[in-house]
Amino acid sequence: MLRPVRHLLRRLLRAAFPTRAPLLLALLLLLAPAAQAQSLPSLIADSLSVDGQTLVADGNVEVFYEGTRLSAARLTYRRETDHLTIDGPIFIETAEGEILTATRAELDPRLQNGLLLGARLVLDRRLQLAAAAIRRESPLSELTEAVATSCQVCAGRPPLWEIRAARVTHDEEARQLWFEEARFAIRGVPVAYIPRLRLPEPGVSRATGLLFPDIKTSDRLGIGLRLPYFIALGDSRDLTLTPYLSPATRTFEARYRQAFFAGTTEIRGAISDDDLMPGALRGYVMAELDLALGAWTLDGDLQLASDRAYLSTYGYSDADLLTSALRLSRIEEDRMTRAEADYFSTLRTDERQRDLPPVALSFSHERRVALSPVTRLDLGASADAFRRTGAGRDMARAGAWGALGTTRILPGGLVAEAEARLTADAYRIDDGPDQGFVTRAQPAAIATLRWPLIRASARATQTLEPIIALAWSETLGTSPPNEDSPYPELDEANLFALSRFPGEDATERGWRLAAGLAWTADMASGAHIRLTFGQILRPGPGQDPGAAFTASSGLAGASSDLLLASQLAFPSGLTLTARTLWDEATGFGKTGAEIDWAAGRVDLNAAYVWLPEDAGEGRAQPVAEWSLDAAYRINERWNIRLDGRYDIANSQPARAGVGLGWRNECVSVDFSLTRRYTSATAGPPVTDLGLSVSLDGFSTGATTPVAASACRG
């Protein structure tokens, strides 16, 4: 049946188009992809007729050409005008994903340029623009008497929002929309008139222009409006400028971002003239840098604020210690080099900046030499220094160390490890009662014995591992003041370590024995469980008075507290970690627990911490606090967020916040309420109320579209 029809079509075409290359080559094919593969237009219709120089396709017309598909009721091609006259209903989908509908159209044979009447343009299947007429001159489309919306349009009822304009110009190459004499309406009620407006089309991730404003209410700053303006400086750079105005403040915020070939940087800041500190300019600046320089990595942070209360008052940060740092590092298979410079700035009301060592410098280099498959030699050198701006001790240190270690598998599956280490340091101390030049050497050794016992079954693989570690060290020379290790703490990471001090100044002396037990279970279901128990015993005094452990560290005395630690991870995304110290005389010591749950609809983090009273760590009373940060997606439209911190020891909240989000196919609304009750920084409690409304459809970083609600009669 198909062959006679094709034969008839060829005869008709030869009669209508005697020349060799007609502008529209109409082929009646049932399989359109075959015609597309030949880069030729194909046409399907219920009937086809030729009258002189005119070809008419009638009934269920389908045209395919270079990725563009056209559907219509009737199509007429006149060779003398080289145009298509198309009667609707018309449906056109371009290769770029644009959709056009119309009642009537005059187009060129390539289906690119021409005029569409009673037309509608749909971009990214989200934003629709209806117009009395659309004139296309590629790459521009001009829409007259246009209405734009991404909301569901139902008969007899205006959409939730719409933009009406005398003329809209769509630039396909720039992916921009220009509105002239635009009127923004909500449910048909005009609320704003904008003479000229430019917006990106859906799917554009970076486009210069005004972003959607935020309304922010604070009990200290009043009701304010933030108007962010985004500037794309290129493919890899952008700048966002945000005026923030309220009855109590005039603030200007800025953010700069740049992506390099091998790194990124971001700078944020603000400057404010407010009524809280009349006559004084307030502000902050924060920056991050991450850059790969061949085998080296350069990263850094900058954190500065004009006064103690600025960040918390404006809601930029809850930090009470600002750290600026610049780090240069190189890590290779057998060596590591690291240099760092830090500057610390306190915002706490109970600390003075001059009492801190704000400027700190450090350098370290380590290298490992494999002497045999089971023996290694580790060598290292390091230096560090800090300086206080006011009265107080300043110190500088330089040192080197070497360690010879071995690991062997003994009969019965025992794993034996041994290491001998020698460390030498020289200190320069200024501006203190103990100023001068001191040197110190420390020989040390540790031997560790592990016996991993494994039991496997169809349900789980379990490992029971008893561990003991015998260590010894001695200090030769003069011990310096302890500046970098004031608060050591027993945990599962240092239970079997040679030293429990995190820094270089303090050292352990004498013999100590660490004994513990680790049990691990890997379930067939994907769950992972690990429990660790351990304690440290010292036959002698343990350490010299200058390097004494604090009472709550769990390390003081001839025997340490008992360490109990657990880690549980489930395939559902739920993770639980907990650690506590137990002493027979005082009961539970420092305790911490944390729950993380990341599931399809749930994102939860909850933590609990308990710190007993300890004058050595500056706590005149116990600290007990829990914190919560949770989000729950009720459905594709609604989500709720909760966050808070509660001071159990003082029976009072420290922070509370709630957020509620709602979105449909065309609008996203986000509401937040935050109350900071207490703060280590200056200033009274602050309550912030935020409201953000954005119109989906003009997208920068679009989220997953929400299905539109069905129209109801």
* Alpha carbon of residue 416 to chain centroid: 43
Residue 631 lies in a domain: no
Is the CB of residue 150 less than 8 Å from the CB of residue 695?
A: yes
Query: Quick check: helix, strand or coil at residue 551?
Result: helix
Residue 91 lies in a domain: yes
Q: Is 385 left (phi over 0), alpha (psi -120 to 50) or beta?
A: beta
Predicted local confidence at residue 13, as pLDDT? 44
Strands (E), 474-509: 476-477
Predicted local confidence at residue 25, as pLDDT? 38
> Residue 113, CB half-sphere, CA atoms under 13 Å: how many?
7
Residue 62 lies in a domain: yes
What rounded mean pLDDT belongs to the chain? 87
Other Cβ atoms closer than 10 A to 589: 22
Tell me what the mean pLDDT of segment 33-53 comes to.
70
Quote the DSSP letter at residue 545: G
What does the alpha-carbon distance between residue 462 and residue 456 come to, in Å, rounded to a whole number? 6
Predicted local confidence at residue 698, as pLDDT? 67
Q: pLDDT tens, 529-544?
A: 999 999 999 875 544 4
Predicted local confidence at residue 22, as pLDDT? 35
Quote the DSSP letter at residue 10: H
Which sign does the torsion angle of CA 370, 371, 375, 380 carry? negative
89: cis peptide before it, omega within 30°?
A: yes
Residue 176 lies in a domain: yes
What does the alpha-carbon distance between residue 362 and residue 76 come to, in Å, rounded to a whole number? 81
Predicted local confidence at residue 551, as pLDDT? 87
Please report which helix (H) or strand (E) contains residue 289, including its range. Answer: strand 281-293
Query: Quick check: helix, strand or coil at residue 33?
Result: helix
Quote the DSSP letter at residue 485: -
Of the candidates 445, 496, 447, 495, the one whose C-alpha atom is nearest the C-alpha of residue 472 is 445
pLDDT-based confidence at 43, cuts 50/70/90?
Answer: confident
What does the alpha-carbon distance between residue 17 and residue 670 come to, in Å, rounded to a whole number? 63
- Its domain, for residue 125, covers 2-207
What does the alpha-carbon distance between residue 577 and residue 591 come to, in Å, rounded to a whole number? 11
Range list of H helices, 429-586? none
Q: List phi, psi (to 5°) of 552.
A: -95, 0
Which sign does the torsion angle of CA 570, 571, 575, 579 carry? positive
Predicted local confidence at residue 699, as pLDDT? 55
Tell me what the mean pLDDT of segment 202-230 comes to.
85
Q: Name the token pair of 350.
A: 């109970």
Residue 74 lies in a domain: yes
- Per-residue pLDDT at 65 exceeds 60: yes
Is the CB of residue 508 less than 8 Å from the CB of residue 500?
A: yes
Q: Kindly list the distances between the CA atom of residue 187 and the CA atoms of 401, 449, 699, 710, in Å, as whole numbers in the listed order.
A: 75, 76, 21, 17
Bridge-based pairing of strands 68-78 and 47-51 is unpaired
Q: Is 472 left (phi over 0), alpha (psi -120 to 50) or beta?
A: beta
Please report which helix (H) or strand (E) contains residue 11, including its range. Answer: helix 2-16
What does the alpha-carbon distance between residue 94 and residue 172 come to, in Å, rounded to a whole number? 11
What does the alpha-carbon distance between residue 545 and residue 506 come to, in Å, rounded to a whole number? 11
Q: Which residues pair with 159 in a beta bridge?
A: none
What does the alpha-carbon distance between residue 19 and residue 39 come to, in Å, rounded to a whole number? 20
Is the CB of residue 304 less than 8 Å from the CB of residue 324?
A: yes
Q: For the CA atoms of 314, 316, 321, 327, what is the dihedral angle to 10 degrees?
A: -150
What does the alpha-carbon distance between residue 424 and residue 435 come to, in Å, rounded to a whole number? 19
DSSP letters of 455-473?
A: EE-SSEEEEEEEEEEEEEE
Of the candidates 593, 601, 599, the one whose C-alpha atom is nearest the C-alpha of residue 573 is 599
This prediction has a pTM of 0.77
Tell me what the mean pLDDT of segment 170-191 comes to.
90
Q: Name the token pair of 700.
A: 């920068």
Of the candidates 46, 38, 102, the one whose C-alpha atom is nearest the C-alpha of residue 70 is 102
Q: Please list, residue by residue across 541-552, b when 16 or more beta carbons sit within 10 angstroms of its beta carbon and e when fewer do.
A: ebbeeebbbbbb
Q: Name the token pair of 626.
A: 């829990």
Range list of H helices, 248-366? 310-314
Other Cβ atoms closer than 10 A to 692: 16
Q: Is 498 left (phi over 0), alpha (psi -120 to 50) or beta?
A: alpha
Which residues, 6 or more positions from 573, have their beta carbon under 8 angstroms from its beta carbon? 597, 598, 599
Tell me what the mean pLDDT of segment 6-28 comes to.
40
Is the CB of residue 54 less than 8 Å from the CB of residue 79?
A: yes
Q: Please list, residue by residue across 178-212, b when 16 or more beta carbons sit within 10 angstroms of its beta carbon and e when fewer do.
A: bbeebbbbeeeeeeeeeeebebbbbebeebebebe
Residue 589 lies in a domain: no
Residue with tokens 């600390």: 351
Predicted local confidence at residue 692, as pLDDT? 86
What does the alpha-carbon distance between residue 153 and residue 162 come to, in Å, rounded to a whole number? 10
Tell me what the mean pLDDT of segment 192-221 comes to.
84
Residue 243 lies in a domain: no
Highest mean pLDDT among 33-47, 307-321, 362-376: 362-376
Predicted local confidence at residue 390, as pLDDT? 72
Quote the DSSP letter at residue 614: B
Query: Quick check: helix, strand or coil at residue 558?
Result: coil
- Per-residue pLDDT at 374 exceeds 60: yes
* Alpha carbon of residue 687 to chain centroid: 26
Q: Name the token pair of 494.
A: 């240092």
What does the alpha-carbon distance between residue 307 and residue 282 come to, in Å, rounded to a whole number? 7
DSSP letters of 371-409?
A: EETTEEEEEEEEEEEEE-SSSS-EEEEEEEEEEEEEEEE
Is the CB of residue 24 less than 8 Å from the CB of residue 50?
A: no
Number of domains, the chain: 1
Quote the DSSP letter at residue 7: H
- Per-residue pLDDT at 277 exceeds 50: yes
Is the CB of residue 200 less than 8 Å from the CB of residue 174?
A: no
Query: Quick check: helix, strand or coil at residue 449?
Result: strand
Of the candidates 483, 516, 515, the one whose C-alpha atom is nearest the C-alpha of residue 501 is 483
- Per-residue pLDDT at 325 exceeds 70: yes
Q: pLDDT tens, 238-254?
A: 999 999 999 999 999 99
- Per-residue pLDDT at 272 exceeds 60: yes
What does the alpha-carbon distance between residue 255 and residue 242 come to, in Å, rounded to a whole number? 9
Predicted local confidence at residue 182, as pLDDT? 92
Predicted local confidence at residue 26, as pLDDT? 39
- Per-residue pLDDT at 490 exceeds 80: yes
Residue 694 lies in a domain: no
- Per-residue pLDDT at 160 exceeds 50: yes
What does the alpha-carbon distance between residue 60 and residue 90 come to, in Å, rounded to a whole number? 10
Which residues, 6 or more positions from 489, have their beta carbon under 8 angstroms from its beta carbon? 500, 553, 554, 555, 590
- Between 35 and 570, the higher pLDDT residue: 570
139: cis peptide before it, omega within 30°?
A: yes
Predicted local confidence at residue 28, as pLDDT? 35
